[in-house]
Structure 1
Amino acid sequence: MNRALAPAFLGSLGSRRLTTLLSMLAIALGIALGVAVQVIHDAALDEFDHGMRTLSGEADLQIVGPRGGFADALFEIVVLRPEVAAASPLLETEARLFGEARMLRVIGVDIFRLAEVQPVLFPQPAAGEDRFAALRDDAIFLSPGAMQALGLKAGDTLKLQSGLDPLPLRVAGGVPGMAGQQVAVMDIAAAQHRFGRAGMISRIDLRLREGLDLTAGREALGPLLPAGVQVLAPERARQQAAGLSRAYRVNLTMLAVIALVTGGFLVFSTQALSVVRRRTEFAFLRAIGLARQELMRWLLAEGALVGAIGAAAGVALGYGLAAAALTLLGGDLGAGYFAGITPRLAFEPIVVAVFLALGTVAGVVGAWLPAREAATVSPAMALKSGGDAAALGGGRRHPGWALGAALLAGAACLVPPWAGIPVGGYVAVALLLAAGVFALPMLAARLSRVLAPLRMVPVTLARSRLAAVPGHVVVAGAGVLASAALAVAMAIMVASFRHSVDDWLAQILPAELYARGARAGSSGYFDPAAQALIAGTPGVAKVDFIRHDTVLLAPDRPAVVLIARPLTADGRELPLVGERVATDRPVWISEAVADLYGYGAGDTIGLPLAGELREFTVAGVWRDYARQSGAIMIPLERYRTLSGDRLANDAALHLLPGETPAAVAARLRERFGGEALELAQAGEIRAISLRIFDRTFAVTYLLEAVAVVIGLFGVAASFAALAAARRREFGMLRHIGLTRRQVGLMLATEGALTAAAGALGGLVVGGAISLVLVEVVNRQSFHWSMDFRVPFGILAAFCVTLVLLAALAAVLAGRQAMRQEAVMAVKEDW
């Protein structure tokens, strides 16, 4: 490439600052979101991995069980095995701070065995404490991160919750080996006693004898374990955390890709129109010897420069967004996958390089078709100032391409997920966008026929123009279609999701008032005495107590939540989907369990309860939006009979007629104290859940708004460039009698028809994409279904507004060209 030509090509970007900046902005936004999601997730996962590696210490294997733990008698069996060089038992509890919503991870340890497997957990007594402080049942040791987060120091009292009672513990020192983690350590016997977990442990960390590999160790220890307890490698937790968060992260990243595609469309539009305006310049360069391929390379370099600058700005913006998100949300991306850790942002050269390359590629791809068209135009034709109708395909339409892309999209929807990622669904989205762009000229032609009865000259001229040059419809309407399709698809998907979640909440929250000691799996619970007090509270007609635990169904998958609650034989209390089976030993599985494990109605499923494998029959599948790894419902009485567990985590209170939730809540607080119970009305829980839902999808609303604004600017930029290229046409129309107002009406009609084609195409394509999102992407990513819901009123108002704004943008953009005197406009034809 001849560097002397750089000012003629790359310098032209400065002469069209607005369109260039808009293209860069669109690419920057897509890159920024992608970078932010990636670096936040990597930082959170690295911190999570560091914490897990620190906690596992020098362990080769871990014996783990359900959330409720398993009998500590297993430790005595395992520690005597010849395959085991050292073993250390742990009891982990998510302890609620009494009277607060905050939780603290408390680890009960055997200090006499820590040094061999987990030396980083060794507690260090504070000055003034004796050497036996770590064995006292009122002592707790905090990591530096926990000390800072709780605002405590050695000698202070930390008040936790056990059951519904306060549990005051003395901060007797620290855990210096756990810097960066918010954890507490205490003696394992004290933890069992104080948290009501007598005879239970959560995990056994093992170091195998020298020379024994992990596979042999697992094979030797596996037969010793009771049902529901498994021996796993420590890195399993990281893999499962990455797997759980992968779908959420990938879906956010795909939103970024869609924004990037919108930017690519805008690059396409601006480059195409730049080619139209500069065709005489290119023809002159071709005439004096510039090769066709070199012209194409220079035009691709323009697109690459736009993409590279936009990507660089996007990377900087992405790191800024990531820093703000880590400050406000931590590392859980608004979804709770990495709650409780404090990630640290780090510069990732590979991630930056990948996203810089993506932005550059988006610019090159957007510029490729205009560059190819510019290189194929005959210099002689271009020097005559004609041929603009032939640009970008001129009169060619591609109905076969549109149909082919749509059929391929349908086939892609049938592709199963790869590693839990709906690759086929994302390919289908891209193909549907392509089909919409290919169909734009046909849509514009059909829409123009609607105006055929109007015999107004400007309208007739506008219709004729669009029919003669359908390629310009693609140039001006591609950005509108892409942005409208994104907005429509997300609006339908979010409306469907929100409606389904609202209905689901109404069905799973039938009681008027709900009470709990703390969240499931934590130190708060209702013992039988507390349950009797709740049931006997004046104004309470009936109480449904609910117990939460987990079960391990497969070693390579996360634990499945087990929920025991009062249920009728047909499970009518649950939001069931699909077939139902009558059985005398029923359980109901969530859609995630059905998808991940392959169970269906009528199948036999084995559940480990209290160390015994019990067989049940799947009576049906229910919809669950709360637990991505799956959940199983079991009748409460059967669970209690088989497990011997009489505790409860939650209570659903049905009130007597005439009683109000507020009055009954006040009586409960009098009985238990206001700090021990969490009380909420069903309506409050629904409102809070929907607010969280709306906040989670706030980023999609922002992307929709930005995409639509960029699409409108694309229309304005397109018509400004087209108007500049059509000065002679406008001058000729003025010579034969058209007024400026009529020329403006012609432009407005063209803009409205172009935007209407883009909006209509966006409606159709967006509707199809929303079906893919609802039926393929969400089902394969998160394993839940939803009811399809179309917000017709919102979409109609959106499309009408878009068409009107596009018509206005077209007129305003063409005003400068219309102002030119008719004689001056055609002087070059003398």
Structure 2
Amino acid sequence: VDVQLLRGVDRTAFRGELARELGLGFVLTEPADQEARTSNMSRAYRVNLNVLALVALFTGAFLVFSTQALSVLRRRSELALLRVIGLPRRNVLRQVLLEGGVLGVIGSLLGLAGGYAMAAAVLELFGGDLGGGYFPGVRPTVHFAPVAAGVFFLLGTGVALLGCAAPAWEAAHARPAQALKAGSEDVALSRLGTPWPALACLVLGGVLSQLPPVFELPVFGYVAVMLLLIGGIALMPRLAALLFGGLLAAVPAISRRTVGMLTFARLANAPNQAAIALGGVLSSFSLMVAMAIMVASFRVSVDDWLGRVLSADLYVRPAASGNTASLSPAEQKAIAATPGVAQANFLRNTQLVLDPARPPVVLLARPIDERDPEKVLPLTGDTAAPPAGALPVWASEAMQDLYGWRVGATVNLPLGGRNVPAFVAGIWRDYARQSGAVQMRLDDYRRLTADMLINDTSLWLARGTTPAKVIERLRALPFGGTLEFSEPGEIRAISLKIFDRSFAITYLLEGVAIVIGLFGVAATFSAQTLARAKEFGMLRHVGVTRRQILAMLAGEGGMLTLLGILVGFVLGGAISLILVYVVNPQSFHWTMQLHLPWSLLATVAAVLLASSAVTALVSGRYAVSGDAVRAVREDW
């Protein structure tokens, strides 16, 4: 009932007086309450989509940072020469920052235009909820948000400046004599080899992952993921030096082969530059591993849950467009007496408003064996036997987080116009109702409310009877034209299709992260091979062939990527634990079982490893294509 108040009526006083007159059988809400409930329903979904976008942004930002840093490192000797001939330090810094700023502005503008076009395409393909099912039938249009665009523009420009600033500051303050020498680039990155900040980030990330949500959002979980990424990337120089140096010393066969010795010597003695190349691979691959494990775990859990809750042979419900949305006792008897029906379980689905600021809680009344509720409920933990005379109910996981219900607690349910005390006998898993659900025995519900109607029917068929025959007989009933029929396989397929569509944007962002990682490898090795042209020229002077240099580059790319993949598996696995056991329960109020998609992870790892080796090889062909004398002339 919508109520429009006369002018001058005190809304608060009127609401209080009306609530006292109506009692517990009615709930009074204002438009603002409905808006808040609608917003809360999709808030976690919207926040997680934004975080996924920030994941891709983080990977891209690291690519920009590493590319800019390597570009400045390549010119380290040139910057030192400018200082030798009298250019002040501040002028060197100003020049480099201006170059980085111009590139950042151009790149950010192109990124905003490309992002706007991609957003329009995604909305056209997936809709406003990106397949989540929150806004069916709505065809949104792209809205340009100036504030958000300004923030991302500043972020892109800032990352480009930051990538230039750190190595430029080091080059401006380094000793010119040392900076003029070829091969001193790794000295400029020596601070990256300090492991303590990285270890501090990893430890702090582990601690934050254990903290509770903030305003029902896993804020600390997101921060923990970011810290684990930063810590893992920052630890790469030390890991690269220890691993490749240890292999070079422990495996004599490596030193006896020219290509192997050159490859491992470079990786072991210039680990800081290797770490920049590793960072792009590690960040993209670890995030891909984490997202793949989380999505696979969720999908397998949903599939198992559907198998538990869809135990009947046929499901019947009154059509929403029919004369009635429920079935009367006489109609229930007619369905149960239909030839071919061995057992019929009826379910009453209604809603309870426990908090006007939250969406309604779904109440499901069905036949439940109090001694063995797990026959019909996917319970998640311990159960408690209700005291004599108590009303047992079983709550979904969301009720624990949203309303603080626990097994063994006594709660109040607004039934039949009064508050009825109930005993929480167990917690069950529910992936269909994010706002919470409560189940109780159908006989108890009818006794308390005198409501004999039902909404859904589960049918178990007699042996030798097919669903098609039973459907034909049910349609022949006087009310059969208002019935809808579904088989468990059909419901399962539709549910998983909706799931895959809901996570289509996740798969897309995973692919974006991998592509960005490959671009990072290409950009990093291109910059490094160009910077090492004199090194390659010197190697060719001492007898190393072009083919051996290319093999060395392919080996470096392959070994670095292999290390990034191995560490990415570990780091991505740790992040996936946070996503599965922290972010998802705190965002959507349900738990899931862990599942690792080994075939997908192995395929992506193999493709990434091969692509990185080929990318390093292709990037190095230009650096060794010139004349050996021309390559080293700057050292004369």
Deviations 1:230-265 (A, max 9, x none): 323321111111122111001000111111111111
C-alpha displacement of 1:631: 0.6
Q: Which residue of 1 aligns with 2:132?
A: 335
Deviations 1:298-320 (A, max 9, x none): 43444444444444344334444
Q: Which residue of 2 aligns with 1:731?
A: 537
2:458 matched to 1:652? yes
2:371 matched to 1:575? no
2:208 matched to 1:373? no
Give the 3 Å change call, closer, same or farther, for CA 522–474 of structure 1 in structure 2. Answer: farther
Which deviates further from its counterpart, 668-677 or 569-578?
668-677
Which deviates further from its counterpart, 810-819 or 655-664?
655-664
**Contact 1:547–1:564 (Cα < 8 Å) also in 2:** yes
2:350 matched to 1:549? yes
Deviations 1:198-225 (A, max 9, x none): xxxxx3424166263x433333333223
Secondary structure in structure 2 of the residue aligned to 1:420: coil
Q: Which residue of 2 aligns with 1:95?
A: none
Q: Which amino acid aligns with 1:430?
A: M
How far apart in 1 are the matches of 2:121 and 2:484? 31
How far apart in 2 are the matches of 1:306 and 1:258? 22
C-alpha displacement of 1:701: 1.3
Give the 3 Å change call, closer, same or farther, for CA 349–368 of structure 1 in structure 2. Answer: same
Give the 3 Å change call, closer, same or farther, for CA 724–675 of structure 1 in structure 2. Answer: farther
2:216 matched to 1:420? yes
Give the 3 Å change call, closer, same or farther, for CA 398–757 of structure 1 in structure 2. Answer: farther
Deviations 1:59-108 (A, max 9, x none): xxxxxxxxxxxxxxxxxxxxxxxxxxxxxxxxxxxxxxxxxxxxxxxxxx
Residue 152 of structure 2, aligned match among 355, 376, 397: 355
Matched ranges for 1:705-744 at <5 A: 705-744=511-550
2:288 matched to 1:482? no
Give the 3 Å change call, closer, same or farther, for CA 797–238 of structure 1 in structure 2. Answer: same
Q: Which residue of 2 aligns with 1:588?
A: 394
C-alpha displacement of 1:799: 2.0
Which deviates further from its counterpart, 448-457 or 616-625?
448-457
Give the 3 Å change call, closer, same or farther, for CA 323–821 of structure 1 in structure 2. Answer: closer
Which deviates further from its counterpart, 278-287 or 634-643?
278-287
Deviations 1:630-683 (A, max 9, x none): 111111121122112222221111111222223323333343688633222111
Structure scoring higher RCO (CA < 8 A, sep ≥ 6) equals 2
Q: Which residue of 2 aligns with 1:402?
A: 198
How far apart in 1 are the matches of 2:548 and 2:527? 19
Matched ranges for 1:375-774 at <5 A: 375-393=172-190, 397-448=193-244, 449-450=246-247, 452-453=250-251, 454-455=253-254, 456-518=257-319, 524-569=325-370, 570-572=372-374, 573-583=376-386, 584-671=390-477, 676-774=482-580
Q: Which residue of 1 aligns with 2:83?
A: 286
Q: Which amino acid aligns with 2:429?
A: R
How far apart in 2 are the matches of 1:670 and 1:294? 90
How far apart in 2 are the matches of 1:314 and 1:423? 27
Give the 3 Å change call, closer, same or farther, for CA 672–377 of structure 1 in structure 2. Answer: farther
Give the 3 Å change call, closer, same or farther, for CA 673–604 of structure 1 in structure 2. Answer: closer
Q: Which amino acid aligns with 1:676?
A: T
Secondary structure in structure 2 of the residue aligned to 1:745: helix
Deviations 1:773-794 (A, max 9, x none): 1111111111111111112232
Secondary structure in structure 1 of the residue aligned to 2:393: strand
Q: Which amino acid aligns with 1:544?
A: N
Q: Which residue of 2 aligns with 1:808?
A: 614
Which structure has more strand as a fraction of its residues?
Answer: 1
Aligned-pair RMSD on alpha carbons?
A: 2.5
C-alpha displacement of 1:476: 0.8
Q: Which residue of 1 aligns with 2:18?
A: 221
**Contact 2:323–2:482 (Cα < 8 Å) also in 1:** no
Deviations 1:539-570 (A, max 9, x none): 11111111211101123222111111111103
Q: Which amino acid aligns with 2:450?
A: G
How far apart in 1 are the matches of 2:71 and 2:323? 63
Q: Which amino acid aligns with 2:558?
A: A
**Contact 1:305–1:363 (Cα < 8 Å) also in 2:** no
Deviations 1:177-206 (A, max 9, x none): xxxxxxxxxxxxxxxxxxxxxxxxxx3424
Q: Which residue of 2 aligns with 1:269?
A: 66
2:4 matched to 1:210? no
Matched ranges for 1:173-188 at <5 A: none
How far apart in 2 are the matches of 1:533 and 1:759? 62
- Percent identity, aligned pairs only? 51
TM-score, normalised with respect to structure 2: 0.92
How far apart in 2 are the matches of 1:661 and 1:693? 26
**Contact 1:520–1:548 (Cα < 8 Å) also in 2:** no
C-alpha displacement of 1:403: 1.4
Which structure has more helix as a fraction of its residues?
Answer: 2
Q: Which amino acid aligns with 2:210?
A: L
C-alpha displacement of 1:377: 3.2
**Contact 1:263–1:362 (Cα < 8 Å) also in 2:** no
Give the 3 Å change call, closer, same or farther, for CA 702–204 of structure 1 in structure 2. Answer: closer
**Contact 1:514–1:682 (Cα < 8 Å) also in 2:** yes
How far apart in 2 are the matches of 1:300 and 1:624? 54
**Contact 1:566–1:637 (Cα < 8 Å) also in 2:** yes
Give the 3 Å change call, closer, same or farther, for CA 598–520 of structure 1 in structure 2. Answer: farther
Q: Which amino acid aligns with 1:577?
A: T
C-alpha displacement of 1:523: 5.3
**Contact 1:444–1:753 (Cα < 8 Å) also in 2:** no
Give the 3 Å change call, closer, same or farther, for CA 371–421 of structure 1 in structure 2. Answer: farther
**Contact 1:518–1:649 (Cα < 8 Å) also in 2:** no
C-alpha displacement of 1:336: 2.8
2:43 matched to 1:246? yes
How far apart in 1 are the matches of 2:82 and 2:435? 62
Q: Which amino acid aligns with 2:631?
A: A
C-alpha displacement of 1:228: 4.9
Deviations 1:130-160 (A, max 9, x none): xxxxxxxxxxxxxxxxxxxxxxxxxxxxxxx
Secondary structure in structure 2 of the residue aligned to 1:225: helix
Give the 3 Å change call, closer, same or farther, for CA 747–323 of structure 1 in structure 2. Answer: closer
C-alpha displacement of 1:730: 1.5
**Contact 2:130–2:505 (Cα < 8 Å) also in 1:** no
Q: Which amino acid aligns with 1:373?
A: E
**Contact 2:133–2:502 (Cα < 8 Å) also in 1:** no
Give the 3 Å change call, closer, same or farther, for CA 382–507 of structure 1 in structure 2. Answer: same
5+ long unaligned stretches in structure 1: 1-202
Give the 3 Å change call, closer, same or farther, for CA 442–674 of structure 1 in structure 2. Answer: farther
**Contact 2:392–2:425 (Cα < 8 Å) also in 1:** yes
Give the 3 Å change call, closer, same or farther, for CA 559–508 of structure 1 in structure 2. Answer: same
**Contact 1:300–1:364 (Cα < 8 Å) also in 2:** yes
5+ long unaligned stretches in structure 2: none
C-alpha displacement of 1:466: 1.4
How far apart in 2 are the matches of 1:505 and 1:205? 42
